[in-house]
Structures are given as structure tokens and as C-alpha cells.
Amino acid sequence: MSEKVKQAMEYCAKYGQEHLIPYMRPCYSEESLKFATQILQHDLRLIRDRYTVLRDQEENLCMPPEIFDLLYADTETKQGLFQSGLSAIKSGKVAAVTMAGGQGTRLGHFGPKGTYELPFDPIQSFFEIQSQSLIELRDQAHMEIPWLIMTSQENYADTKEYFEQKRYFGYGRDKIRFFTQSMIPVVDMDGKILVHHREILLSPNGNGGIFSSLHTSGNLQWLKENQIRHLFICGIDNVLVKMADPLFIGFAIQNQCDIAAKSSLKKGPKEQAGVFCLRNNRIAYLEYTEINERIADATNERGEYLFGDIGIGMYVYHIDLIEQLSECPLPFHEARKCVEYSLPTGETIRPEKPNAIKFETFIFDSFSHARKVSVLRVPRNREFAPVKNMRGDDSPEDAAILYSKRKDPLL
Ligand code: UD1
């Protein structure tokens, strides 16, 4: 056997690449010598180390967490949670916040997403649906809770005007507070800030901006002065949202957690929704834009998705954690987008493929700052019907059907 082939075989065995050894047989052939030369050119230790890091990330960081499934809870438990939440609401300790910084572009609507009117009977906007839910809560609790609405700087005026026009949907005008989130420059693929019409291009800093914006807008102070202890926080586009759901508030209180989050079971591996996981034995969250196929497809021995609990954009945060988070920057994620910009000559460039990076923070990155995060799994057909696309999955038509059945006792 040539010295080189022998050396290559030992090298493979040392760094866990034994499966390459048979390719060097018969060990005296020209091909084997060529193959051995190739192997010796690569740093197999580096490959092993890199792979170990990746494996560790997947195996140690991403186990599925323990989740309380409402479907299997008995009536007494559910009653207990509900009463505990309702009593906190009645004693004025709860407020709701809607993260409504998004635009309705994907739905072909040029305005704040919350003002998009859904083809329901009668037609209703997302904001109207949320106000109806708060009115139902008012009927149960015999009081109106404060409702804070986070907008982007771009859609602040339109959102306020819409509420004015709709006379606040019959909800207490003095209970509704609007505030804006911060903006951040958009850069090109080389990190250079883009300009349009001699203005720096800006985009909202993501829904993780909620904490610092509550603080800078003075709302955090206001909430504290008004003895609010629990903030129900939600997105705008789920038509089955239960605003400040007493049972959910009770779940957060009884678990003594500083964040409670609702989950539902995933429809399929390609669903555009993030999943709950465990990272270093703590509950964490992987956004759908950053999940690899292995995690998305993984199933257990019963064929169920291993990472099968998706986030449905509903949280309860304790005010003390909000205060802590208001001064604690969350990491930026990047979204690659097609963004129109102009050159110093004034010429407008309309790119056809992604040319720009928008930086965004995500609300669930705050999980790592919490003492305890608890997850409540709720039945999907009762609580999750998002409207994301004009047609196909998660369309307004799908949502209309689910919305019309939301109180169907047989569902
Ligand atoms: C979001 C979640 C995803 C979840 C899915 C469920 C985030 C980052 N992702 O995805 O994990 O499974 O909903 O439907 O939350 N918003 C702002 N300001 C911003 C950006 C967003 O207020 O700068 C608001 C939006 O108006 C919306 C919510 O945050 O109400 C979620 O943002 P969106 O971009 O719609 O996230 P999705 O891709 O739908």
C-alpha cells in the first residue's frame, strides 16, 4: 500500500470520515492514490468541528418544549383560569396592545393593514373585529380596559383618522391610545444607506420595537401610574383573536410567568409561522423565515411534527418585564426586499430582484430575558385564522368561513 493511501486512511479514521476508506480500495490502484491526495488536501478536523457545532445547535438548542394543551384541560381548570383572569381585568390590572405597524400591501390594500375591510357579512376591518372582541369583554367584565395601538410612523395619521371616522367603533375613546414605533434606515447589499427623493429610506424597526416605543411614547409610565400589571399583546391579522382573553390572562397569573404565549398546532411543514422550541432548556422561538427544512419536517414516532406548536401572535407580558425590556435592545434580523431608490442625479431605480436589507426586531426575541415563559396551546379553529394573502392559504375568504363559525358549539 502506498504511504499516501495509508496516511489518508488514518486521517479519515481520526476525524470520523471512515466511510471514505472503501473508496481507496484496492489500495495500490492509481485511482486510490488520486483520491488519497484529494483527501489530504482538506482540513478534516475543521469539517468535524463545524459539523459538531451545527449538530449541537440543532440537538441541544431546539428540543420541543412542554406546552399546556387547553383541549385536554377539564372544565374546573378552565373555569379557575377564566375567573382568575376576569378578576384581574375587573380590578383594572389589564390592558391590551395591538401591534399594527404593518401595511396591507400583500392584500392589495394601500393603507394600514388594520383598516383593510374583510368580505364578512357585514364587512368588517381588522380594527373593527378587535374592537368587537373588546366590547364582548366589556359585557363580561362590566368595564372597558385600555387599548393601546402601536402604528408605524408611516401609518399613524391614517390609523387615527380611521378610528375617528368610525367613531371608535363604540369603544371608549378615552380608553384608546395610539403610539408609534421607531424607524431604521434601509441599506443596500453592501450596507450602504439607500435614499429616495433626497430622503433617507426608513422602515419600521419590527414588532420587537414595542418595548422601547411604549417607553419613549410615555405609555409605559402611564400604564404604571394606572396600576396595570398585565399587558395582552397581539398582532392585527387574526380574525379569531380573543382580545385580553380572561382565561389566557388567568393562565399567565396562575403560572406566575412573565410571558405567556398562545400556540396552535401547525398545519404543514411549509406554514408561514414560527415554532416554539427549547434553547438551553428555556422556551425560545424560531421564526419561519429562519427555520431549516430539517426542523420544519421533523416528526416523532407517532408522525406528529416535533416542532409542531406555532406562534399565533398572542402574548401576555408582565409589566415589570416590559419595563426591563424597554431599555434592552433586541437583536436585528434581516429581510431582503426589492426597494425603489434614487441616485444623486435624481434617477429612480426600480429593482426587479431584492436589492435592499430591512432590519427588524422580533417580539419573541424577548423570551430570553424572561424569568419564565409559559405556552398555552389553543384549538386552532377557535382562535387562529390569519389573513396574509389575497388568495390561497390564509386568504380573506378562508377567514370569513372560520369567522362565521367561531361560535358554533359543534366545532
Ligand atoms: C407573525 C409572527 C410569526 C407568527 C405569525 C402568525 C413575528 C415577527 N412573526 O408573522 O412568528 O407565526 O405572525 O400569524 O411576529 N408589526 C408591527 N411593526 C413592525 C412589524 C410588524 O407592528 O415593524 C406587526 C404587524 O402589523 C403584525 C405583527 O406585527 O400585526 C406580525 O408581523 P408580520 O410582519 O405580519 O409577521 P408575520 O409574517 O405575519
Tens digits of residue pLDDT in 104-122:
989 999 999 999 999 998 9
Contact between 368 and 284 (Cβ < 8 Å) = yes
Q: Is the pLDDT of residue 32 over 80?
A: yes
Query: How far is Cα 378 from Cα 394, in angstroms, rounded to an integer?
Result: 18
Where does the pLDDT of residue 58 fall: very low under 50, low under 70, confident under 90, or very high at 90 and above? Answer: low
Q: Which helix (H) or strand (E) holds 98?
A: strand 94-99
For residue 312, the CA-to-ligand 1 centroid distance in Å is: 9
Where does the pLDDT of residue 209 fall: very low under 50, low under 70, confident under 90, or very high at 90 and above? Answer: very high
Where does the pLDDT of residue 290 fall: very low under 50, low under 70, confident under 90, or very high at 90 and above? Answer: confident
What's residue 57's pLDDT?
56
For residue 118, the CA-to-ligand 1 centroid distance in Å is: 19
Q: Is the pTM of this model over 0.85?
A: yes
For residue 135, the CA-to-ligand 1 centroid distance in Å is: 24
Give me the mean pLDDT over the 140-162 stretch. Answer: 97
Ligand 1 atom showing the smallest separation from residue 151 Cα: 22
pLDDT digits (tens, 9 = 90+) for 17-28: 989 998 998 888
Q: Which residues in 391-406 are b (16+ Cβ under 10 Å) and which e?
A: eeebebebbbebbeee
For residue 21, the CA-to-ligand 1 centroid distance in Å is: 50
* Residue-averaged pLDDT of the chain: 93
Beta strand ranges found along 301-368 (DSSP E): 309-318, 333-337, 341-342, 348-349, 356-360
Give me the mean pLDDT over the 311-325 stretch. Answer: 98
For residue 208, the CA-to-ligand 1 centroid distance in Å is: 10
For residue 48, the CA-to-ligand 1 centroid distance in Å is: 38
The reply to whether ligand 1 has any atom less than 6 angstroms from the CB of 291 is no
For residue 235, the CA-to-ligand 1 centroid distance in Å is: 6
Q: Whose CA is nearest to atom 10 of ligand 1?
A: 273
The reply to whether ligand 1 has any atom less than 6 angstroms from the CB of 104 is no
Give me the mean pLDDT over the 124-152 stretch. Answer: 97
Query: How far is Cα 379 from Cα 240, in angstroms, rounded to an integer?
Result: 11
Q: Is the pLDDT of residue 226 over 80?
A: yes
Q: Is the pLDDT of residue 196 over 90?
A: yes
Query: How far is Cα 313 from Cα 274, in angstroms, rounded to an integer?
Result: 10
Q: Which of 173-182, 365-374, 391-400, 402-411 has the weakest average pLDDT?
A: 402-411
The reply to whether ligand 1 has any atom less than 6 angstroms from the CB of 39 is no
The reply to whether ligand 1 has any atom less than 6 angstroms from the CB of 213 is no
Give me the mean pLDDT over the 140-150 stretch. Answer: 98
The reply to whether ligand 1 has any atom less than 6 angstroms from the CB of 363 is yes
Q: Are strands 199-200 and 195-196 parallel, antiparallel or unpaired?
A: antiparallel
The reply to whether ligand 1 has any atom less than 6 angstroms from the CB of 396 is no
Q: Which of 288, 286, 290, 283 is nearest to 268 (CA)?
A: 288
The reply to whether ligand 1 has any atom less than 6 angstroms from the CB of 206 is yes
Contact between 246 and 211 (Cβ < 8 Å) = no
Residue 333, C-beta contacts closer than 8 angstroms, at least 6 positions apart: 206, 287, 289, 290, 359, 360, 361, 362
Q: Which sign, positive or negative, has the C-alpha torsion 311, 326, 367, 251? A: negative
